Structure 1
Amino acid sequence: MVYIIFLVAAIVVVGAAIKLNEFGDVISRKSALSGAAVGTFLIAGATSLPELTTSLTAVYIDNPDIAVGNMIGSNVFNLLILAIVDIIYRRRRLFQRVGYQEHKPAAIMGLVFMIIIIGALALPQSIEWFGVGIEMFVLALLYIIMIKFFSNKGEEETTDEDLPVKNYKLKTAVTGFIVMALVVFGAGSALSISGDQLAQVSGLDSSFVGSFLIAASTSLPELVTVLAAFKVANYGMAIGSILGSNIFNMQLLVLTDILYRDQAILSAAGNSHIFIGLLGVFMTLVTIYLLWRPAISNQWRYIAPSMIVSLVYVVFSYIIF
């Protein structure tokens, strides 16, 4: 029965994520918001709902390793999605079609967030304030600063195509976006819970389950969103949704720590998450490089960094397993 629930939930999440991206594309083209802003905040928040459900469930069953591993692992898997899509659609030159300056804040902030998490995990004793790790207050403050930064910028991403927008009014698109976000939340919850049950049956370590198995399943909306954004040639939203999800996931970790009342959640989690975090730092640095580097005509030289990222992820997963 659990297999059927997992499959049905996955199908619903895929369908809802496609519509979510469609409405998000309309919002980005018919409002003052750029594709990067829509991807970084609106779509990123909606597609991160399954991660929220999973981590809250982990807190309820007192399994901090799954809660922490799910968030860090999802960030790593999200970056893997960008790398794989970049390889498959190498002729489109994904990272050469968007502006570095527009995505730089989200990319660098994601890197800073991951480094802060690694530092907190490495400390023998977390500094707590009201039972919450001090690093969580830092993450929340930096996120607020970033939102303020984005609200003051109005740059548009660079694309070579100007495809027609779906025939939706802006109000209809906003309403549809909210409805699809709720569907993703519901189906994503079923996906996460059933995925957790499947993991328990396998008898694998909680850190591995949270960082790879559940993280991969809860990142399904992000995968569909990126592919759908490619379909409408909204490359800024494709990259923005991934970078934004990674930032938003760290804010969900803040919420998780607040609800986990035993102690600071990073103190309760295992040190093995440090290695997953280091993998995330490496992949984020490569992503920043891909956004920054000048145009390259040779397609094999172009996709070399993405191929390295994918290979490192596979090898690392095998070693951890």
Structure 2
Amino acid sequence: MTAWPFWPSVLALLGSVVVIVFAGSRLARAADELADRTGLGEAIAGAVFLGVITSLPGIVTTATGSLAGDAEFALANPIGGVALQTVWLAIADLVYRRANLEHAAASLENMLQAVVLMGLLALPVVAFATPQLLIGWFHPVTIAIPILYVAGLRLVQRMQTDPMWQPVRTRDTRDDQGDDGDEGRPLPVLWGTLAGLGLVVAVTGWVIGQAGLGVVAATGWPSGITGFTVTTAVTSLPELIVLIAAIRQGALTLGVGNIIGGNVFDVLTLPVADAFYLDGSIYRAAGPTSLVLLGGTILITAVLAAGLLVRDRRGVGFEGLGIPAAYVGTVGLAIVAR
């Protein structure tokens, strides 16, 4: 596959930013309305509707990298997506000035999803340690990840219907409040809008993948670092746009659920990377840099989970400082480890 030249790749990435900003703001409105109309609630709607659709650019980008035979680039995209999208929460804390965002958007579903995410991220560590275990050309972890993902969703649904814990309510806590369901666009129109926007961001993901590989080929930058930072910054923009839009609409739980649910869904991109990499297990080919990026991402997720539990009331909280610091440290260690 011939790589795109440098400047067309850069222009394609910039154009993708414009498309994603346009689609992302509309996704937040459609998902918020669907959450109210279907009765699913904002945390579940953020995880399922927005988590799936906003992850499509990353999925297509990852598949593009795997088919091109670049294992580091393919793995770095979903791992970097989880890391950078968590950093978006720290940025969103600056936008929502009434209180700490993790405090205001108190949600047991989001807390459980953060725990499930750490479990999902632990499985690739096992795959890196046992690259010789293969089923056909891919690792058994490729099968285990979606199984654990479905089990996690069932636990989240069970917690929503029969909660055993409740967050302490304060005057800064914001409830998941829906409309009465009688107003707004018809449901078929909402579903059509969601599907159409999903198609747009999926096609944009292919463009981002090709452009990212073009940048790697033209500059000689490490493909793992490029995937973890440059292309991930573009593919993760839907989550940031939707998060900011949701906060401005007052749908705090939806916004946070979009990030955490999107991160959980992004881990499903790892099996995609392994399945589309046809030269054996992608974990064998990726090298130690990808393991550094994975370990840093688990740390970032642990800091977020702690923030959701502790719920600092004012300011950005310790997680607002710890998450960006862990991200920068991870990139630095990955560069040194090469």
Query: For the structure 1 residues 316 and 152, does the alpha-carbon distance in structure 2 shift closer, same or farther, using more than 3 Å as the test?
Result: closer
Deviation at 1:169, TM superposition (A): 2.3
Matched, 1:86 2:104: no
Deviation at 1:260, TM superposition (A): 2.0
Q: Which runs of 5+ in 2 are unaligned?
A: 1-7, 168-172
2:282 corresponds to: 265
| 3-state DSSP of counterpart to 1:210 | helix
Residues 169-248 of structure 1: matches in 2 within 5 Å?
Answer: 169-248=186-265
Residues 8-27 of structure 1: matches in 2 within 5 Å?
Answer: 8-27=15-34
Residue by residue over 1:158-199, the C-alpha shift from the partner in whole angstroms, topping out at 9 and shown as x without a partner, is 625858798322222111111111111122322332233123
Which stretch shifts more, 273-282 or 158-167? 158-167
Deviation at 1:282, TM superposition (A): 1.2
Matched, 1:118 2:111: no
Query: Which of the residues 139, 146, 164 maps onto 2:145?
Result: 139
Specify the code of the residue in structure 2 equivalent to 1:36: A
Deviation at 1:269, TM superposition (A): 1.0
Q: Judge conservation of contact 1:74–1:211 (CA < 8 Å) in 2.
A: yes
Cα distance in 1 for partners of 2:9, 2:108 equals 45
Cα distance in 2 for partners of 1:110, 1:74 equals 13
1:49 corresponds to: 56
| 3-state DSSP of counterpart to 2:280 | coil
Query: For the structure 1 residues 145 and 167, does the alpha-carbon distance in structure 2 shift closer, same or farther, using more than 3 Å as the test?
Result: same
Deviation at 1:257, TM superposition (A): 1.4
| 3-state DSSP of counterpart to 1:6 | helix
Specify the code of the residue in structure 2 equivalent to 1:48: S
2:273 corresponds to: 256
Specify the code of the residue in structure 2 equivalent to 1:313: Y
Cα distance in 2 for partners of 1:101, 1:110 equals 14
1:159 corresponds to: 174
Cα distance in 2 for partners of 1:150, 1:310 equals 27
Residue by residue over 1:16-36, the C-alpha shift from the partner in whole angstroms, topping out at 9 and shown as x without a partner, is 111111100100111121111
Query: For the structure 1 residues 131 and 175, does the alpha-carbon distance in structure 2 shift closer, same or farther, using more than 3 Å as the test?
Result: same
Specify the code of the residue in structure 2 equivalent to 1:53: V
TM-score (norm. length: structure 1): 0.90
Query: Which of the residues 71, 77, 84 maps onto 2:84?
Result: 77
Which stretch shifts more, 251-260 or 152-161? 152-161
Query: For the structure 1 residues 319 and 153, does the alpha-carbon distance in structure 2 shift closer, same or farther, using more than 3 Å as the test?
Result: closer
Specify the code of the residue in structure 2 equivalent to 1:167: G
Specify the code of the residue in structure 2 equivalent to 1:65: E
Q: Which runs of 5+ in 1 are unaligned?
A: none
Cα distance in 2 for partners of 1:222, 1:275 equals 24
| 3-state DSSP of counterpart to 2:288 | coil
Percent identity between the two aligned chains: 22
Residue by residue over 1:17-75, the C-alpha shift from the partner in whole angstroms, topping out at 9 and shown as x without a partner, is 11111100100111121111111111111111111111111122111111111111111
Matched, 1:305 2:327: no
Matched, 1:290 2:307: yes
Deviation at 1:290, TM superposition (A): 1.1
Cα distance in 1 for partners of 2:219, 2:42 equals 41
Cα distance in 1 for partners of 2:317, 2:242 equals 21
Cα distance in 2 for partners of 1:219, 1:80 equals 10
Cα distance in 2 for partners of 1:83, 1:51 equals 21
Query: For the structure 1 residues 50 and 294, does the alpha-carbon distance in structure 2 shift closer, same or farther, using more than 3 Å as the test?
Result: closer
Residue by residue over 1:128-155, the C-alpha shift from the partner in whole angstroms, topping out at 9 and shown as x without a partner, is 1222212222212111212333444545
Aligned CA-pair RMSD: 2.3
| 3-state DSSP of counterpart to 2:98 | helix
Residue by residue over 1:265-286, the C-alpha shift from the partner in whole angstroms, topping out at 9 and shown as x without a partner, is 1112111111111111111111
Cα distance in 2 for partners of 1:12, 1:125 equals 38
Cα distance in 1 for partners of 2:276, 2:309 equals 38
Q: Judge conservation of contact 1:161–1:233 (CA < 8 Å) in 2.
A: no
